[in-house]
Chain A
Amino acid sequence: MADPILSVRDLVTYFRPEEGVVRAVDGASFDLYPGGTLGIVGESGCGKSVTARSILRIVDRPGEVESGEILLRRDDGGIVDLAKIDPRRREMRAIRGGDIGYVFQEPMSSLSAFYTIGNQLMEAVRLHRAVTTKEARQRAVELLQLVGIPRPEQRVDAYSFELSGGLRQRVMIALALAAEPRILIADEPTTALDVTTQAQILDLIRRIQDERRLAVILITHDMGVIAEMADTVAVMYLGKVVESGPVDAIFHAPRHPYTQALLRSIPSVLAEPRSRLATIAGSIPHPYARPEGCPFHPRCARSIAGVCDRTVPVVTKLDERHEVRCVLYGRPAEAAE
């Protein structure tokens, strides 16, 4: 396999408001390969969005990337550690948008209502490329065409509020692709959309990815979207990647008790009508009250008293690509299920 285009190692991002510490991301590691799709999945508070924002170095105060490495392989083969760059420096601004494009959940609040979408696209193009106004406008029309917006020559002069939610999200994707990045980070790109519009947007992301060998990090709470799109999956719970591996292994041979329980609890159109769902006991703890030891132990059916509530389990490699952070697999004697 080719070298990863992005490697995150032991990423730690904490928020330190006056009331205490929120360990939003607490040691996350994963790799992204050229042309591949990494799905990061988890429930609220698991740190999936903060992970994305940490990579882009746009974590809001009082949050800060505290340690770890975010290694980006650039076109020339050189490697930069984004965790070590000052987020306000020009170098980081060139990477943001230039090497890594990003799309967020709320297309309405991410687009300006004061400028036409053409203006915003042209600005994004000219931020990274030295082109004339005319060329930038031509490029804006091409980008709208690429993301499947009908009548791009006219729509380039429209304002975001004149567009539907689905079209706005297409504009967001066009903006993210303006400088031809090699990585696209999409954080819940379809959560605010209806299901038929979601299908259109997922289709679009797949098509563009194939055409440009784009590497995608797709962040979502929706296991269905992950199953549909990802080739590698990282499951997060309370700031930690508890399990990662190829999508088929995660869905058909999950090892971490959280992944197993989560998969059992998702409603499915394939289920028997009116069938009860398996549940996970309790609820996600408050950010200030994270459990000691394994973050999942208070809700885990297989928790071992005196072990899981005391020590943070280490990552165990089950095979070349499948890793799990759980004591059930940590000690070889108990590894056999």
Chain B
Amino acid sequence: MTSPQTILSVEGLKKYFPIRRGLLRKVVGEVKAVDDVSFTIDRGETLSLVGESGCGKTTTSRCILRAVHPTAGAIRFRTDPTRNVDVAVLPRAELRPLRRQIQMIFQDPYSSLNPRMTIADIIGEPLLVNGVSSLAARRTRVGELLDLVQLPRAYMNRFPHAFSGGQRQRIGIARALALNPTLIVADEPVSALDVSVQAQIINLMLDLQERLGLSYLFVAHDLSVVKHVSHRVAVMYVGRIVEVASTATIFHRPKHPYTEALLSAVPTPDPRRRAKRIVLEGEVADPANAPPGCAFHPRCRYAIERCRQELPRLATVDGSLVACHRSTELGLTGVASAAHA
């Protein structure tokens, strides 16, 4: 791993799903859901993976949790200051201790909590599974966790149905924190919530990160939310990372034409800024049959002959990592900088 501050280092990660056809279920092709993805996350840092549906952001996060088995690549996770393990090849038996350190927050707070369990049981379950057998000790810890997510301790004996979406998401976060994880994978944690509640959960995640020194891998499609939570952002398109940079750089000085188009498509909550949008032609490419060269070239308004033939590699341009043949010559437009109208 590159630096002692790095908690997670993903190197050349691939996940191909076979396409089977016919009576014998013969493999006739592959969906390259994740294709040669690399990134790192530091201690206390939030890296967001953004992109549209089918870009591979969720599959990437599921590989890190080993909910799916990667086809190739390494996922190095620092378990303590001197040691790291490769999650990608770890035998099943050795995954459990690791799962104390990597936890996840789900998108849907309605289906991710068991309706037959009390809040104390839901939050206490990871403690029980990991050997905290004393009920009193578990209840003490559950109380602390409820304080942490700013829910009254009195809620401990209630069932999930009594809670709103935002409160359920707090319960899900408390459960994720039960075993003092160092890395939290959050897949669209606020996209099912109403705006007024979404803001509360975003703030809570920022506070918890500062208090507990957590690292977040934040998977999201909503770029406005991403702006409020991330230190760095990785943009994915058809299984590959096309650009990685600090949040300010990605939003204000994008280097990849897809990032530019994505930013341009976000509606701005200000009627005085009805900008001329870059409306992309066509559809996202099929990861089972990606176009040759740069997968974005059929929709890219800057594409040249080279883009149709040669796959661009990630390279450093002014502090950003960009996979575009023309990244040094194009002057792309981001969102207007910070001044809130």
Contacts and interface: CB of A to CB of B under 8 A. Distances in A.
Interface residues of B, number: 56
A280 B335 CA distance: 27
Given A199-B265, A222-B267, A270 B199 contact: no
Interface stretch (A99-107, A244-252, A322-330): A244-252
Contact of B339 (A267, A270, A280, A299): A270
A151 interface: no
Contact of B228 (A167, A271, A280): A271
Contacts, number: 161
A195 B228 contact: no
B277 interface: yes
A44 B270 contact: no
Interface in A207-249: 221-228, 230, 247-248
Contact of A251 (B195, B200, B270): B270
A276 B203 contact: yes
A164 B283 CA distance: 8
Interface string B248-274: 100100000000011111111111111
A164 B54 CA distance: 12
B180 interface: no
A198 to B, nearest CB: 7
Contacts of A166: 283
Contact of B277 (A203, A226, A261, A277): A203
A273 to B, nearest CB: 4
B194 A261 contact: no
Contacts of B262: 195-196
Interface string B281-319: 001100000000000000000000000000000000000
Q: Which of B53, B194, B261, B273 has the most CB of A within 10 A?
A: B194
B279 A280 contact: no
A12 B195 CA distance: 25
B42 to A, nearest CB: 15
B143 to A, nearest CB: 22
Interface in B146-165: 164-165
A276 B206 contact: yes
B164 A284 contact: yes
Contacts of A277: 199, 202-203, 228
Interface string B185-202: 000000000111111101
A294 to B, nearest CB: 16
Interface string A277-294: 111100110000000000
B247 interface: yes
Given A200-B280, A269-B251, A224 B266 contact: yes
Contacts of B228: 267, 271, 273-277
Given A200-B280, A251-B270, A267 B52 contact: no
B167 interface: yes
A230 B46 CA distance: 35
Contact of A267 (B199, B221, B270): B199
A145 interface: no
A263 interface: yes
A195 B197 contact: no
Given A194-B53, A267-B202, A269-B263, A221 B195 contact: yes
A246 to B, nearest CB: 9
Given A199-B280, A251-B271, A266-B195, A273 B248 contact: yes
A248 B272 contact: yes
B112 interface: no
A271 B229 CA distance: 11
Contacts of A280: 196, 199
B190 to A, nearest CB: 9
Interface in B209-265: 221-225, 227-231, 246-248, 251, 261-265
B341 to A, nearest CB: 7
Contacts of B229: 274
Contacts of A247: 271
A269 B227 contact: yes
B340 A279 contact: no
Contacts of A279: 196, 199-200, 203
Interface string A160-176: 00001011000000000
Nearest to B166: A283
A160 B341 CA distance: 42
Contact of A274 (B230, B265, B271, B283): B230
A274 B228 CA distance: 4
B223 A273 contact: no
B224 A268 contact: yes
Contacts of B225: 267
Given A43-B194, A284-B196, 9 more contacts: A199-B279, A202-B267, A203-B279, A224-B267, A268-B227, A268-B340, A269-B335, A270-B268, A283-B196
22 contacts: A195-B266, A196-B261, A197-B283, A202-B267, A224-B267, A227-B271, A228-B268, A261-B196, A265-B195, A265-B199, A267-B202, A267-B222, A267-B225, A267-B228, A268-B224, A268-B227, A269-B268, A269-B335, A270-B335, A273-B231, A277-B202, A283-B164
What 5 A-B pairs come out closest when comparing CB atoms?
A: A224-B267, A194-B52, A277-B199, A273-B247, A199-B265
Interface of A: 43-44, 164, 166-167, 194-200, 202-203, 221-228, 230, 247-248, 251-252, 261-263, 265-280, 283-284, 299
